[in-house]
Copies of this chain bind each other. A is one copy, B any other.
Amino acid sequence: MKLAKSLQQIQPSYIREILSAAQAEGVISLAGGLPDGDNFPIALMAQSLIDLPTKPELFQYGHTAGFGPLLDYFQKAYQLPENQSAIVCTGSQQGLDLIARAFLNPGDKVVMEAPSYLGALQVFGLAQADVVSIEQQAEGPDLEQLESCFAEQEIVMFYAVPDFHNPTGVCWSLEVRQKVAALCIKYGVTLIEDVPYRELRFTGEALPLVSSFCPDHSLVLRSFSKIATPGIRLGLVTGKTDWINPLIKVKQSADLHSSIPMQAVLLDLLSHGEFDKHIQNLRDLYQKRYQVLSDNLNQKLPSGCELNSVDGGMFVWLTIPDCDVFDLAKAALENNVAVVPSSVFYQQGAKITPALRLNFTNASEAELALAVDRLVEVINAKCTCA
C-alpha cells in the first residue's frame, strides 16, 4: 500500500532520534519533556490501584466522553458554565488530534507562534492544515502580526501554549491574554489553549486562562501527564458543548473511549487530600533544578548567548547567535549531553532563531551542573559567540 498523501508530508521526527540516543549510558538528557519519575504521586494513587480488582465494573466498555464521576469532578473543579462540557482523551495529544479532525479541512489556516510545540505541528501536518507562523515575544505573541493575520486571512483557529510555552518557557502577560481574547472574538477565530504546564508555576501568581476572556471562542486542552503521570495517558478538552460533541463523534471512531481503570485512578488522585501538597513539592523541586541550571549557565556561558528566565514549566530557551544548532546538538550528544536544537520547533521554511531547548525537570541538580559544563565546552568549541 502507498502512504496516504497526508502522511507523506510528515517529516521523520528528529527529536525522537535524539531522545533515543539520549538514553545511552553516561548521557545526561536535557532533551526530553519528561516529568521527574522519582516524584510521581504513586503513594497517593496506591490505594486506588490496589482497590481496582474489587471494581470489575471499571473494566467493562464505557462512555466515549469519559468516566461519569470523573466528568462530574471536572465540571465542578473547572466550574464549567452551563453551555460547556468536557471530554476525557487518551492524553491531551489526542485532544488536539480530535480537534483537528473535527474542525479542519485540508488547506484550512491555523495560526501558531513560532517556535511551536512539535506534537501540534505534527497534528496540523497530518490534517494538511496551512500553518501560519507569527513571532513570539517576551510576553506572548506579536499582537500586531496576530491582528493583521486575523484581519487579512481566513483563520480557523489559533493554537497557543500561554503558560510556560514549549519550547521557550514564555508565559503570556495579563494584558496580552486580554488582547488575544479580544482579537479572537473580534475576528471569530477559535483559540485552542493548551495548558499542560499551567500548574507548574514556581514564581509569581497564576494568571487567568486566556479562554476565561473568550469562553465562547475557545477550547481548553489539559494534560495530567505533568501533575499526575504520563504513562496513564489522560487529558481533557473543555469548551462549548456544541464543539465537544463533534469531538466525541470522532473519538468514537478513534478509540471508543479512554481506559476506565486509569480514569478512576486519576479521579481518586485528583480528589486526594494530599494532592495539592504533591503539586507544591513538584513546584519546589523544579524551581530548585531550574535555579541550578540557570545559575550554572549564567556563570559559564560565553557572552552573546542568551538565557530566558522562566516562572515555571519544564524548559528554558538558550539563544546562541551565529551557530548551526543542529550541528551543535550533535556535538553535545557526543560530549554526553542531550539537548534539542531549535530547528525542530519550526515549520519548514520558517525563519529559525538559533537556540537550544533545555529541560530541567528530569535530571538531578548534580547532573544539571555537569550537563552545563559539557554543553559550555561544546558551545565554546563550536560557536562564534565564544
Residue numbers of A with Cβ under 8 A of B are 1-7, 10, 13, 16, 32, 34-35, 37-38, 40, 42-43, 45-46, 49-50, 52-53, 56-62, 89-91, 93-94, 97, 101-105, 119, 122-123, 125-126, 156-157, 190, 225, 229-233, 243, 246, 249-250, 252-262
Contacts and interface: CB of A to CB of B under 8 A. Distances in A.
A6 B59 CA distance: 32
Majority SS of interface residues in chain A? helix
B53 A93 contact: no
Contact of A94 (B103, B232, B249, B255): B255
Contacts of A5: 105
A112 to B, nearest CB: 15
B101 A58 contact: no
Contact of A6 (B49, B56, B101, B254): B101
A59 B224 CA distance: 12
A60 B42 CA distance: 11
Given A104-B4, A233-B259, A255-B93, A40 B59 contact: yes
A41 to B, nearest CB: 9
A26 B58 CA distance: 22
28 contacts: A1-B103, A1-B190, A1-B243, A2-B103, A3-B102, A3-B103, A7-B101, A7-B246, A34-B60, A37-B57, A37-B59, A40-B60, A42-B59, A49-B53, A59-B230, A60-B230, A60-B231, A62-B231, A89-B255, A93-B253, A93-B254, A93-B255, A94-B255, A97-B254, A122-B252, A231-B259, A232-B261, A255-B255
Contacts of A50: 49-50, 53
A359 to B, nearest CB: 12
A145 to B, nearest CB: 22
A240 to B, nearest CB: 9
Contacts of A53: 42-43, 45-46, 49-50
